[in-house]
Amino acid sequence: MNVCIIGASGYSGRELVSLLLDHPYAKLTTITSRSLDGQKLEDCLPKLRGKDQGLRFSNPSREQLCQDSSLEVFFLALPHGTAASYAIPLLEAGKKVIDLSADFRLRSPVSYKEYYGEEHPAPSWLKQAQYGLPELHDLSWEKSPLIASPGCYPTSILVPLAPLLKSKLIQKEGIVANCISGISGAGRTASERLLFCERNENSSAYGLPKHRHLSEIEEQLSLFAEENVVLSFQPHLAPMNRGICSTLSVLSEGPVRTEKIYDCWKNAYSNRPFVQILASGTFPETSAVTGTNRIDFSGLADPRTNRYVLCSTEDNLIKGAGGQAIQAMNLCQGYPEESGLS
């Protein structure tokens, strides 16, 4: 199966390139980038020398991509807004699309405008898209040819929380998510605030009080709770290249008992290859998941406040982006879920 990455020069795009070159079933044949058009992959990503398969970056038009009958699946590693401008003609041409941007993660065009500041370019596709979090949703090309790959922060929050809300073990009120991201989460666009001297030995909150990912998190949690969920989400940038570390504080429904949440997690994730449930009191670390498609998490009870404290970590560029998109493709194509991933 031949695949194409549109926007292969960003951090998420580069991870997709690296992972797909090692995929046993998918063949990466086209990588696009306006800024690197014509350049050899091995010159731009030296770590891939010797396994770059002679690929060069190109900048074909949307029409050329739609008309290329050899390409079956397209990964869009583009900013929101731009991604939709490629997704719609590709879908209309009968292609399968996995979008890593936020353009199709929300069901409501009203929420999209509220959080992204513009009208959605293709509202009719919002309810047709599948939210591509494999641990929580069954994915199939038969349902839709469009997969909306989740954001990095939402993944780290939804996987631990969704089954607990669905099972009514925690209250939907008073959820607090305190999250830390590596600098790569802000993308490769040049910015003064992301210069080495600005970020080294420096950590700060950002995007408060309504980071864009909040809309996605609340919408998905509300689906599992079957009620409207509002939470407090506090993202921070930390001086590390990559990784997400989330600490979630939630009110228990009834007396707190750690075994209740662990039983729920084990029932939900016992057969999921990329979920690692750590023992209570063992706190996941970003360094342990770097370069993997895993999400590690644990929980403990705080009887003093009648709360559970849940901690999760993931690699924001793999489980939070490129790896999760490939995991979704594997399931839709009928490949083993772990194909090309670790």
How far apart are the C-alpha atoms of 49 and 214, rounded to whole Å?
39
Residues of the chain with CATH 3.40.50.720: 2-149+321-333
pLDDT of residue 242: 95
Three-state secondary structure of the chain: CEEEEECCCCHHHHHHHHHHHCCCCCEEEEEECCCCCCCEHHHHCHHHCCCCCCCEEECCCHHHHHHCCCCCEEEECCCCCHHHHHHHHHHHCCCEEEECCCCCCCCCHHHHHHHHCCCCCCHHHCCCCEECCCCCCCCCCCCCCEEECCCHHHHHHHHHHHHHHHCCCECCCCEEEEEEECHHHHCCCCCHHHCHHHHCCCCEECCCCCCCHHHHHHHHHHHHHCCCCCEEEEEEECCCCCCEEEEEEEEECCCCCHHHHHHHHHHHHCCCCCEEECCCCCCCCHHHHCCCCCEEEEEEEECCCCEEEEEEEECCCCCCCHHHHHHHHHHHHCCCCCCCCC
Q: Which residue numbers are catalytic?
A: 152
pLDDT of residue 172: 96
Average pLDDT over residues 4-10: 93
pLDDT tens digits, 108-120: 999 999 999 889 9
- Percent with pLDDT over 90 in the chain: 82
Structure tokens of 137?
């949703």
Distance of CA 272 to the CA centre of its chain: 17
- Angstrom distances, CA of residue 284 to CA of 176, 204, 251, 297: 18, 21, 21, 6
Residue 299 · residue 262 · CB < 8 Å: yes
Pairing outcome for strands 307-314 and 244-251: antiparallel
pLDDT of residue 184: 84
Q: Which fold has domain 153-314?
A: Dihydrodipicolinate Reductase; domain 2 (3.30.360)
42: left (phi over 0), alpha (psi -120 to 50) or beta: alpha
Residue 161 has pLDDT above 90, yes or no: yes
pLDDT band at residue 190 using 50, 70 and 90 as cut-offs: low
Residues of the chain with CATH 3.30.360.10: 153-314
Average pLDDT, the chain: 93
pLDDT of residue 63: 92
Residue 247 · residue 310 · CB < 8 Å: yes
Is the dihedral angle over the CA atoms 227, 172, 295, 201 positive or is it negative? positive
pLDDT of residue 274: 98
Residue 101 · residue 129 · CB < 8 Å: no
pLDDT band at residue 239 using 50, 70 and 90 as cut-offs: very high
Query: What interhelical angle do 11-21 and 322-333 show, nearest 10?
Result: 40
Greater confidence (199 vs 266) lies with 266
How far apart are the C-alpha atoms of 140 and 157, rounded to whole Å?
24
Residue 186 · residue 267 · CB < 8 Å: no
Residue 74 has pLDDT above 80, yes or no: yes
User: What is the number of residues in the chain?
Assistant: 342
Residue 194 has pLDDT above 80, yes or no: no
- For residue 310, the cross-strand partners are 248, 299
Residue 64 has pLDDT above 70, yes or no: yes
pLDDT of residue 342: 86
Structure tokens of 78?
């583009």
pLDDT of residue 183: 87
Greater confidence (154 vs 117) lies with 154
- For tokens 């600490």, what's the residue? 247
Q: Which fold has domain 2-149+321-333?
A: Rossmann fold (3.40.50)
Cis peptide before 150 (omega within 30 of 0): no
Residue 316 has pLDDT above 70, yes or no: yes
Average pLDDT over residues 28-45: 91
Average pLDDT over residues 283-311: 97
